[in-house]
Amino acid sequence: MQVIEEAIGRAIRFRDCNALITETFDLARQQAAAALDRGLTPFPVVVKDCFTLQSQPTTCASKSLVNFRPPYTATTVQRLIDKGGCVIGKSNHDEFSMGTSSLLGYFGPVRNGIKHVNSEQNSQIEGEENEDDFIVAGGSSGGAAVAVQLGMADVGIASDTGGSIRNPAAFTGVFGLKPTYGLLSRSGLVPLVNSLDSPSILCQSASKCLEYLKMMHNVDENDSTSNEHSDKGNSFKSLKGLRIGIPKEFHDENLSLEGWQVWNRAANRLAKAGARIVSVSLPSSRFSLNTYHVICAADVASNMARYDGVAFGHRSEISNSTHALYAATRSESLNSVVRKRIFAGNYFLMRRHRKEYFERALLVRRVIASELCSVLSSLDLLLVPSASGSAPRFSELWESNYMREHHDDFYTQSANLAGKNII
């Protein structure tokens, strides 16, 4: 019980980071008491607010779902609760998980907790952080990453569609694991892109990621894409002889000098430990970002059609006609990023454009996945950047009109297109 109270205390102490949308402290205490009654050890959990938690708000960081309370709990979350997990809160993120900064949610931006970490370690960062120019947490799962970074939770459960846990993991100094597609159930995860979404894990170590993965992994009859994967993966007691590929296409014009130096340093350390570093080519990767955006927009247009103000969610008072109700409801409750993706997706899916854009993107996706599988057949893993550089300040993103988000997506979304696991 003490560890839960400590986590709650840290969540209260670090509220200025805006990591949590909904605080569920009383629920966590009840779950801790129930876990102890069953002979389990309670541990604190933070859940991204696009996963359902019975009778608790599930907002997707959007005005459209401010008052939505689901009648059931997501499978992955429930499996953790069954093992002693205690949900401290629902974490903040970009609206409907569309973004790479956690700045664009309805409940305000998530702030990187590095200043608190450095304060506890009596160290400083370059340049003083101020109220208006804070260090970005990354996204879209920034709130869950900051919660783990600051000790509000032992594990953060989030979604990863094109890098949504790996980007904030890199920016906050924690571990982010996106499992193989289908390994964890998507039941209870509000969908962004059905064929790319992966429930994922944020922890303070790789071994902890594996521990919680095993707790949640199993076939779920409520998710048709859930499947049983063999756990007989390659096991290495040392790095000696490990075959590691470096894709040359990832050293592009957007990779900063700092990003390249970190990447190069990691490769050199692995080589000194006995790993064999191999330069490889993924020529189709240059098309991956456009492919990702077409597929993403198409699925967004389909999935967002349910938010019309009729069955649930925000409903506009403008109801002169059905068309007026739909248009006003979406204009009032969805931010510009979400609306733009809906527009783009509908354009790609129009009869006269579908073959040119959407169907072609599906074909290119198959080529990208095949190419990645072919390269990995002779390697043990690939070593790639998670972003173009270190965590930027808010002013840097604002002044560049958020172009950094677009650049960072390139390094992460290929794994989702191929359904591969990555940490």
Catalytic residue (choose from 62, 91, 140, 185): 140
Give dist(CA 169, CA 142) in Å, integer: 8
For residue 158, the cross-strand partners are 200
Catalytic residue (choose from 48, 63, 178, 208): 48
Q: Are residues 194 and 299 in contact, defined by beta-carbon separation less than 8 angstroms?
A: yes
Give dist(CA 48, CA 60) in Å, integer: 8
Q: Are residues 156 and 201 in contact, defined by beta-carbon separation less than 8 angstroms?
A: yes
Q: Specify whether 140 is catalytic.
A: yes
The number of CA neighbours under 13 Å toward the Cβ of 379 is 20
- Give the pair of three-digit tokens for residue 380: 């043990």
Q: What is the dihedral of CA 243, 246, 247, 250, to 10 degrees?
A: 150
Describe the crossing of helices 336-349 and 322-333 by its angle, rounded to 10 degrees: 130
- Give the pair of three-digit tokens for residue 177: 């694991």
Give dist(CA 133, CA 124) in Å, integer: 16
Catalytic residue (choose from 64, 101, 159, 164): 164
218 burial via Cβ count (<10 Å: 0-12, 13-18, 19+): middle
Residues 6+ apart with CB under 8 A from 3: 42, 43, 44
Q: Specify whether 48 is catalytic.
A: yes
- Give the pair of three-digit tokens for residue 2: 């003490």
DSSP SS3 for 376: helix
Q: Specify whether 164 is catalytic.
A: yes
Give dist(CA 392, CA 263) in Å, integer: 18
In angstroms, how far is CA 337 from the centroid of its own chain?
A: 17
Return the active site residues: 48, 140, 164
